[in-house]
Structure formats: C-alpha cells, structure tokens
Amino acid sequence: MDMSKYRELFLSEAREHINSLSQLVVTLEQEPGNRETIDALFREAHSIKGMAATMGFNNTARLSHHLEDLLDGFRNSGDIPSVTIDYLLEGIDLLDGLLDDLLDDRPERNTEDFLTKQPVPAADREKKSPDRSIADVDDDESSKAPPEEPDTFQVLIELEKGIPAAAACGILILRELEKSGKVKASKPEMDELREEGDCEQIQAWLTSLVEKEQLKETLLNISGVANVRFIEDRRKNDRRLRRAVDRTIRVRTDLLDQFVNLTGELITHRNMLNTAGSNRNWDELNSALERAGRLIDDLHHNVLQVRLMPLQSITGRLPRIVRDLSRKSGKKVNLQLNGTDVGIDRVILEEITDPLVHLVRNAVDHGIEEEGVVTVSAGREKDLILIEVADNGKGMDPQTLRQKAVDSGVVTQAQAHSMSDRDALMLVCRPGFSTAQEVTETSGRGVGMDVVRAAIRNLGGTLNIISEVGTGTRFQMRLPLSIAIIKILLVRCAGRVLAIPITRVQRTLDLPTSEIQTSGPHRLFRLDEEEICLYSLAETLNLPQAAAGDITWAILTEVRGLRVGLQVDGFLGQRDAFIKPTGFPLNLLTGLSGATVEGDGRVTFVVDPQALLEKHKMVTNL
C-alpha cells in the first residue's frame, strides 16, 4: 500500500500530539502526581506509536513505545520523580527532532543513546549543563543529527519575494552548489525546478570542503538571493513552531457537507440560467443570477472558514518555551492561555508565530521581575481577532522611555516632550530602541519589536501597548480574520504610484516609441506577429498621459479575450501586498479593487485594468 499520501497528515497530527505531550509534561511538573495528566500523556505517546508504526517510521515508533512504557509504569503510583520529567522532556525533544527528519526527508536520527540511558538524577544533570537553555537543547540535537554524514550540512537559501523566473534562479543556485561540493539532496530538486515549480527558497544538504562564509558570499552574489542561512541556529524552537502550521488542513465534515450542498444548488442554478437564457426570459435570468450571486457569497464564506486554524496550533509550544526561559533566568513564571481555540486564517497564523513568541519572551525577560504570570488570551472583536500578551510584572514608565529615546537619538527632546504617554509606550517599537539594560540572549536579539510591529502591520493589523508601572504590560495585536495577499506590480502613472494585480499582467512591455503606429484614434504595436491596441492607464483614470521618451512602457493585459497594451510611465517593481477593502463609498468605484498600505503609511490603490478599460468604453469597437 502506498503510504506516501498519508505522510503530510501523519506529520501534522504527530506534531500536534508532540505539542500536547510537552504541554502535559509542563503541567505535570507543576502538579506532580496528577493521575489524569499521566493518563493523558500515556494516550498521546500511544497514539504516536501507532501512527509511526503504521507509516514504517521505526525509530519514531520505538521511541514513542519506550515513552509509553515508561509512563505506563507510573500510572498506578501516580508519582513521577523530577528526574523522569527531565528525561521525558528530552525524549519529547528527540521525537520532535525525528519528525523534523521525516519532514525534511532525511533518515531518522539515532535514538539508541536515549533508549539505553537511565534517567539521570537532576543534581548530576545540573552539574553537566548548569543552565539548560534552549540553545543547549539545540546543541544536543544538532550533534545527534544525521550521524552517518558528519560533514553534511544544511543550507537554506531564501529568494527575494516575487522575483521573476524564480525557478530559473533556483537552477542557477543548485548549479553553483554543485560546483562547491556534493549536493546530497535538495528541496526543491533540480527536476522539480525544471518543471517550473514555484520556488521561494532552496534547502540543500551539502557535503563540501568550502568554508561556509565563503560559500555564503558566493551564493549571495547570485541575483535574486535574499538570504543564506546554515541550519544550526539557536532559534530552532521558533522554526519548529512555524512548521507546526502544516500544509495539510483538516476540515470538519459538516463544513464539507455544506460545500456539497452549495455546489449542488449552484448546479441547479446553472440549469435555471441555461433555461432562462435559451428562453430569453430576462426576469427569470436576473433572479437566477441574483441567487447565484448569493450562493457564491456563501461559498466564499465557507472557503474562508476552511482556511481558519485554531490559535492553539501555535500556542501549544509556549508552555515549554516559558518553562525553559524561567529555568534559565531563575524566574518563577506561570503561563496562562485563554481562548486559544479561536480560528485564524492560516496565513496570518504563520506570520504571527514569530511575533507572538517574541512578545511572550519579552514578557518573561523584561516584564516579570522574579515571579509572575504571563497570560496569552485571544478572542473575536467584531471582525477582528484580538490576541493579547499580558504580564503582571513591573510595567513600563512612559517617562523613562521618553528619556531613553532621547538618549539613544531616536527622537529629539522636543518630540519626546510633546508625545502622549500612549505614543511614548510605542517607542519600544522604534528600530534601535531596547528597553532592557543589557541584551539578553533570548529576546534582546533576533526579531525586535520593530519587526513585530512591521509583521502585524503587513497583515493589516495593529499593535497597541497598555502599561502601568507596578501593574504590568499588555501587548494587544488586532488582526483581520481572513486575509488577501496578492502579488502586485507597482507602476508610475501621471506622477502617482498605482498597483496592478500581477494576475492581470501577461507581461511587461518596453516598446520603442518610434514603432508605435497611429491608426485613426487608435495606437497600435506589433507583438508576435499580431497588431495590438495600446491604451493609456492615465487616460482611463482621467489623468493626462505624459509623452513617452524613446521607449514606451506598457503592460500586456486582456480585455474580453483580446490582448491589449496599457501604457504606464514606468515600473517600480513587484511585491506581495496585503489588500485591504476600502471604506464606503470608495468600494463603489469601478476599477478599484482595494488598497495596500506601504511601510511608511502611504496608501497605494490597486486598480483592475480590465474593469477600467471596460468602464472607460475604450475597447468598444474591437
């Protein structure tokens, strides 16, 4: 039987079980001897064992079996010693690592060492690694990673977003890698790229004698390469979290039933439309069209529902992160999660994973002094999701922040003086501003608050900070329920910047102006032996069209099945953009499909060339 089609499902489900395992162990540590928790742990390990064995993942199956046996032994006594807690956590980390191997199509890592070793008394462990931090855990793991290939390392090459011919870039990169060593495996593979698969990043396992720094430099020189990372970095936990948002999604059966019903109704309607059409019965046609419109709205709503995933899928690991952080810092921190069953679009979920972890780390590192509670709560607020990370620590003093911002040159004395307290709190989101006296290993580096705010903004959300000295701090993220991210081409038009969805652009054109012919009111150019009409974007917007220079820039698009050129004043590149709906009455304007907010707050409108051309009745006599 071909098991490969179940692989994705196995990976996502197993990851969920591992997440609950680690959550349960942290709970158990807080309430030792809770029989129910031990039972739950046993069941989780048992589930993983069954699934892994079915899939033929032997090491994973053996390890989960081992943990299951271990837990079974404590079900009667109901008392797990603290050495065993540590041993369990180590086993869970190992399981997580095994899942990483399977996810990346590597052979499963070795589990013998762990299986044969007895739980070491905590006192001895502490001597060996005095502060068992996340970084230490990772070191342990990377040394355990594929044992048979000690010289193989993994490199992750990220491409710039939205570059043209990304697959071709990918091939050039793989070729470069092959020059510097042996590529054991890559994702995507050369063949996948040849079939012009989408390519955002290249992950490769490489055996090479070339120095990593040198290799990195070479790779960064290739056009389109945005970033090169060698995988062994300390933020492994975060990456795992991101992976927790898997590609598969499970859909409730009642939702599927609704899809079937809606599709059925649509089919019925198509027949009605056909009949009305052939009878030329306009009333019937109109009413059927109206109903079809409503059905499509329902379908759209349901499709969005499918994309929703519970916040839990990323908060599951937070207890473990907080536990490790508190151990390391010697603080006593209790983490509370509320309302994490709220559903969020999976794209948003992926994007807020890092920011959320950062906020929680910040709360532990900078909010809580010695002992306290960090609360992550989520809920619906109208058509937004509110996610709040709160601590009951020392709070932030706007006056201190003002002073610090002046000292570090982020704002002037006068600006600081006229700033409201609310704005002063937001200073922590300025690049180059850090409230911690010293940079801590966990939250002082890597993503900063500026990155957190930018990530939230990019999603069309907002960040709000409420803080009171002595009471604590609350970071509130408000995010849209669902999201529309599309690729856009930015163009210049009559001195303005406009965006065009890339799906509307067949290609960009640079036409020698001298080769554009005029025929009556029309301008024509030749492309692939075809005469094509050229229109002006500016004119469709009732703006003056500036005279082109030697070259006329245009996009090739299509209106009612005909290829047409649409002249612009220049191209400013393409990128991913979060498209916001616009308020009344902007939403009534034909040809405006939304707007996107730039990093600096400027608003760029997205125009639909087809709608504009049709509206303007420019393409009438074609």
Partner 1 sequence: MALRVMIVDDALFMRNMLKDIFVRAGYEIVAEADNGEAAPQLYQDTKPDLVTMDIVMPKKSGIEALQEIIVTDPQARVVMVSALGQDALVLEAVEAGARDFIVKPFREDKVLETIRRIVGQD
Partner 2 sequence: MALILTYSLGNDLYGLEIDAIQEIIENPVLHYVPRAEGVLTGSINFHGQILAVIDLPKLLGFAGNQRDHRHLVLTSEYRSLVFTTCGVERIVNLEMEFLQPPPDGHDRPAVRGIIDFNETTINLLDTDEVTKQLEDIFAE
Spatial separation of the C-alpha atoms in residues 436 and 445, rounded to whole Å: 11
Please report whether residue 620 would count as binding partner 2 according to CB under 8 A.
no
**Using CB distances below 5 to 8 A depending on partner kind, what does residue 458 bind out of partner 2, partner 1, none?**
none
Task: Count how many Cα atoms sit within 13 Å of the Cα of residue 39 in the half-sphere of its side chain.
Answer: 4
Spatial separation of the C-alpha atoms in residues 12 and 1, rounded to whole Å: 21
Q: Which of 156, 168, 272, 306 binds partner 1 (CB under 8 A)?
A: 168
Please report whether residue 507 would count as binding partner 1 according to CB under 8 A.
yes
Please report whether residue 556 would count as binding partner 2 according to CB under 8 A.
no
**Using CB distances below 5 to 8 A depending on partner kind, what does residue 222 bind out of partner 2, partner 1, none?**
partner 1
Give the nearer residue to partner 1 in terms of CB position, either 168 or 384: 168
Phi and psi torsions of 256, nearest 5°: -60, -40
Please report whether residue 277 would count as binding partner 1 according to CB under 8 A.
no
Please report whether residue 486 would count as binding partner 1 according to CB under 8 A.
no
Contacting range for partner 1; rule: CB under 8 A; set: 86-94, 370-378, 508-516, 604-612: 508-516
Spatial separation of the C-alpha atoms in residues 199 and 170, rounded to whole Å: 7
Please report whether residue 498 would count as binding partner 2 according to CB under 8 A.
yes
**How many residues in the shown chain lie near partner 2 by CB under 8 A?**
28
Residues 432-491 that bind partner 2 (CB under 8 A): 457, 460-462
Q: Which of 130, 164, 293, 544 binds partner 1 (CB under 8 A)?
A: 164
Query: Which of 133, 112, 20 lies closest to 62 in space, CA to CA?
Result: 112
Spatial separation of the C-alpha atoms in residues 62 and 52, rounded to whole Å: 9
Shortest distance, CB of residue 94 to partner 2, whole angstroms? 43
Q: Interior CA angle at 143 toward 84 and 208, to 5°? A: 165
Peptide bond into 188 cis (omega under 30): yes
Alpha-carbon Rg of the chain, whole angstroms?
29
**Using CB distances below 5 to 8 A depending on partner kind, what does residue 435 bind out of partner 1, partner 2, none?**
none
Give the nearer residue to partner 1 in terms of CB position, either 212 or 507: 507
Spatial separation of the C-alpha atoms in residues 447 and 440, rounded to whole Å: 13
Site string for partner 1, 179-218 (x = CB under 8 A): --------------xx-x----------------------
Spatial separation of the C-alpha atoms in residues 337 and 96, rounded to whole Å: 22
Contacting range for partner 2; rule: CB under 8 A; set: 161-169, 237-245, 423-431, 588-596: 588-596
Phi and psi torsions of 259, nearest 5°: -60, -45
Residues 6+ apart with CB under 8 A from 240: 96, 100, 317
Site string for partner 2, 387-426 (x = CB under 8 A): ----------------------------------------
Give the nearer residue to partner 2 in terms of CB position, either 128 or 382: 382
Please report whether residue 126 would count as binding partner 1 according to CB under 8 A.
no
Residue ranges of alpha helices (H) inside 435-506 are: 449-458
What's the N-to-C CA distance of the chain in angstroms?
Answer: 57
Phi and psi torsions of 416, nearest 5°: -60, -40
Site string for partner 2, 345-384 (x = CB under 8 A): ----------------------------------------
Q: Which of 528, 542, 602, 617 binds partner 1 (CB under 8 A)?
A: 528
Cβ contact 109:98 at 8 Å: yes
Give the nearer residue to partner 2 in terms of CB position, either 457 or 487: 457
Please report whether residue 221 would count as binding partner 1 according to CB under 8 A.
yes
Please report whether residue 161 would count as binding partner 1 according to CB under 8 A.
no
Cβ contact 462:478 at 8 Å: yes
Report the Cα 380 to chain-centroid distance in Å: 20
Strands ordered across the beta sheet of 384-391: 332-338, 371-381, 384-391, 472-480, 462-468
Contacting range for partner 1; rule: CB under 8 A; set: 324-332, 357-365, 417-425, 504-512: 504-512
Please report whether residue 500 would count as binding partner 1 according to CB under 8 A.
no
Q: Which of 9, 85, 167, 466 binds partner 1 (CB under 8 A)?
A: 167
Q: Report the relative pairing of strands 496-501 and 472-480 from DSSP bridges.
A: unpaired
Q: Which of 76, 223, 620, 621 binds partner 1 (CB under 8 A)?
A: 223
Shortest distance, CB of residue 594 to partner 1, whole angstroms? 22
What DSSP element (H or E) covers 523? Answer: strand 522-527
| Paired tokens of 200 | 């955002």
Q: Which of 541, 556, 572, 619 binds partner 2 (CB under 8 A)?
A: 541
Shortest distance, CB of residue 402 to partner 1, whole angstroms? 41
Contacts 24+ apart (CB under 8 A), 598-607: 599/454, 599/457, 604/490, 604/497, 604/498, 604/499, 604/577, 605/498, 605/499, 606/488, 606/498, 606/499, 606/500, 606/501, 606/577, 606/579, 607/498, 607/499, 607/500, 607/537, 607/541
Q: Which of 209, 585, 599, 621 binds partner 2 (CB under 8 A)?
A: 585
Shortest distance, CB of residue 383 to partner 2, whole angstroms? 10
Shortest distance, CB of residue 419 to partner 2, whole angstroms? 16
Residues 6+ apart with CB under 8 A from 15: 96, 99, 243, 244, 246
Please report whether residue 583 would count as binding partner 2 according to CB under 8 A.
yes
Give the nearer residue to partner 2 in terms of CB position, either 38 or 463: 463
Give the nearer residue to partner 1 in terms of CB position, either 369 or 515: 515
Shortest distance, CB of residue 17 to partner 2, whole angstroms? 38
Cβ contact 184:205 at 8 Å: yes
The DSSP call for residue 195 is T
Please report whether residue 455 would count as binding partner 1 according to CB under 8 A.
no
Give the nearer residue to partner 2 in terms of CB position, either 5 or 382: 382
Please report whether residue 591 would count as binding partner 2 according to CB under 8 A.
yes
Report the Cα 407 to chain-centroid distance in Å: 35
Q: Report the relative pairing of strands 517-519 and 181-187 from DSSP bridges.
A: unpaired
Residues in contact with partner 1 by the rule CB under 8 A: 164-168, 171-172, 193-194, 196, 221-223, 489, 505-510, 512, 528, 550-551, 553, 556, 570-571, 574
- Point out which residues bind partner 2 (CB under 8 A): 457, 460-462, 496, 498, 541-542, 580-586, 588-592, 595, 597, 601-603, 605, 607, 615
